[in-house]
Copies of this chain bind each other. A is one copy, B any other.
Amino acid sequence: MTSPIDPIMLDKLAQVAVKVGLNLQPGQDVVVSGSAETLPLLRRIAVEAYKAGARLFIPLLSDEELTLARFQHGGDDIFDHAADWLYKGMAEAFDGNAARLAISGDNPMLMAQQDPDRVSRANRALSKAYRPAAMKISNFDINWSICAYPGRSWAKQVFPDIPEDDAVAKLAKAIFAASRVDQPDPVAAWAAHSAALHARAKWLDDMDFAALHFTGGGNDLTVGLAEGHRWVGGGGKAKNGIECMANIPTEEVFTTPHRHKVEGVARASKPLAHQGTLIENIEVRFEAGRIVEARASKGEAVLKKLLDTDEGAARIGEVALVPHSSPISQSGVLFYNTLFDENAACHIALGRCYSECFKGHFDAEEVMRRGGNDSLIHVDWMIGSAETDIDGITQDGKRVAVFRKGEWAS
């Protein structure tokens, strides 16, 4: 059986994951999660990691059928529980300077047929268990990265109308292009791309806007920014001193909004695939930073459960700018996967903010004082399109064109 996935491209993706994504340093452990189906990529990554001096590559492999078995055959009383000890251990590994790599490749619709109440309870329990490790990631304590592998069920979801092998080949090609491994020197291509994102972030930092005003595509949304917010894009330096590229691919520059200063209407420009459910045509209204009305043409119940997760789940912790001309957007593919879809359009994220998006290292309390948000969740959803206009509002109230018709204004 020949695989529809080009092995040379997998080799290059493994190199990008280790050299660009993690920028793995000698002596580091790597905690790696992905489904067992991603092994053709994981095995190459392990080889690259050990060549780069890794001490131990620790795979935490999942399997869609094992995951589903619980929802299909488990009793009703088991869903408020997760393997706390595993994630506590992972946090301990990060304390010991382990790097973190996640391979995204699962069926984004895996949970679509399962009881939403079970799914929501299980997700909540998992988020709570994962929190000690997740905080170290969102606080950028260690170098971490996510990249993608063209899993079969994901490929079938993205390209339902063509034979399965063709779908896998097509998704593989889209992933390789977005991850820049189809370029002659992928590592150099990433260096150039990262520099361009850094320049955009620097301009926004220099402008130090008080707020951004989104219009077009049904939006009339003012996003106040946190005090001392910092724009981040491309590679960044983790607190362990290692420069890494947290997302492969990435096209965004993003920062922390003020959790009390978001006002108006936001309309999703793409469906949101949230842990197995597709939520379509989201429209929400913010008052004083909080979502006070929420609608969706499909998956509204899941959306509302999500917003009810905790106090911070109905506020936003990230705003991100992506031009409509981004390669992922231009591919025209809806990936049903945040790692890709968030890099096709401007977006906001419900829930937890990134403490790295501040000018200075602040503790949790100071982050909150400056308008950062906290929650068990961090869920991105897309509001940008070819119609997106954005004005930056300066600290003294002037308007500056940031985006026009989906593109950088300058």
Residues of A within 8 A of B (CB): 1, 26-27, 29, 36, 39, 42-43, 46-47, 50-51, 53-63, 65-66, 69-70, 72-75, 78, 81-83, 85-86, 88-90, 92-93, 96
Contacts and interface: CB of A to CB of B under 8 A. Distances in A.
B63 A50 contact: no
Contacts of A42: 63, 66
A342 B218 CA distance: 71
A46 B61 contact: no
Contact of A59 (B39, B54, B62, B92): B62
Nearest to A26: B75
Contact of A73 (B26, B51, B60, B92): B51
B63 A81 contact: no
Contact of A83 (B56, B74, B88): B56
A59 B70 CA distance: 12
Nearest to A82: B56
A69 B85 contact: no
- Total identical chains: 2
Nearest to A75: B53
Contacts of A89: 85-86, 88-89
A157 to B, nearest CB: 21
Nearest to A66: B46
Which of A69, A75, A96 has its CB near the most chain B CB atoms (within 10 A)? Answer: A69
A43 B47 CA distance: 28
Given A70-B50, A85-B92, A43 B59 contact: no
A63 B88 CA distance: 24
B43 A65 contact: yes
B78 A55 contact: yes
A55 B81 contact: yes
A85 B73 CA distance: 31
A372 to B, nearest CB: 29
B50 A59 contact: no
Contacts of A62: 59
Nearest to A29: B83
A83 B93 contact: yes
19 contacts: A26-B75, A27-B78, A29-B81, A29-B83, A36-B36, A36-B63, A43-B66, A43-B69, A46-B66, A46-B70, A47-B72, A50-B70, A50-B73, A50-B74, A53-B75, A54-B78, A57-B66, A61-B61, A85-B92
Contacts of A46: 65-66, 69-70, 73
Which of A59, A74, A96 has its CB near the most chain B CB atoms (within 10 A)? Answer: A74
A69 B50 contact: yes
Which of A72, A82, A86 has its CB near the most chain B CB atoms (within 10 A)? Answer: A86
